[in-house]
Amino acid sequence: MFYEPPVRLCISSVNSRWIGGLLLVHLILVAKQCSAQQIRLIPDIPEQVFAVGSNITLTCIFEDAELYKDNSLWQAWQLPDYVAKHPELSDASHRLSQTYVKNGTHMISTMTLTNSETKDTGYFGCTVRLFRLRDENYEVKQYVYVSSNDNNVFIDDQQGGMKNSTFIFEHGNSGLVPCKSTHPNVTVSLIRNSRNLLSEPNSNWLMESKRGLILHQATFEDTGDYQCIGTVNNISTKIFFKIFVEGIELIRVDNIADPWEGNNVTLICRANINPEFSSPPEWFFMSKFDMSTLKRIYVLINETDPSEGIKISLTNDELGVYESRLELLNVNRQTTHREFKCNSKIDNKTVSKEISFFITGPDHSWIIYGLILPIGIIVLVMIFVAIIVVIQRRYCPSWDIGECRSCVCLLGLWNCLQMCTYCCFLASDFSS
332-375 tens-digit pLDDT: 887 778 899 999 887 778 888 999 988 887 665 555 566 777 78
User: Is the model's pTM score more than 0.75?
Assistant: no
Distance CA 206, CA 218 (A): 12
Average pLDDT, integer, range 317-322: 78
Distance CA 206, CA 196 (A): 12
Question: Which residue, 278, 272, 277, 268, is CA-closest to 342?
Answer: 268
| Domains delineated in the chain | 20-147 (2.60.40.10), 153-246 (2.60.40.10), 253-356 (2.60.40.10), 377-431 (no CATH)
245-257 pLDDT tens trace? 988 899 999 877 7
Q: Over pLDDT 90: what percentage of the chain? A: 40
* Centroid of chain to Cα 254: 23
What is the model's pLDDT at position 18?
41
Residue 303 has pLDDT above 90, yes or no: no
Q: Decide the pairing of beta strands 136-147 and 47-51.
A: parallel
Confidence category of residue 295, pLDDT binned at 50, 70, 90: confident
Q: SS3 for 35?
A: helix
Residue 190 has pLDDT above 70, yes or no: yes
Residue 138 has pLDDT above 70, yes or no: yes
Higher-pLDDT residue of 297, 105: 297
Average pLDDT, integer, range 313-331: 87
Confidence category of residue 69, pLDDT binned at 50, 70, 90: low
Beta strands in 80-163 (DSSP E): 96-102, 107-113, 122-130, 136-147, 153-155, 162-163
Question: Which residue, 165, 174, 232, 221, is CA-closest to 193?
Answer: 221
What is the model's pLDDT at position 393?
65
Report yes or no: 113 and 96 within 8 Å, Cβ to Cβ.
yes
Residue 157 has pLDDT above 90, yes or no: no
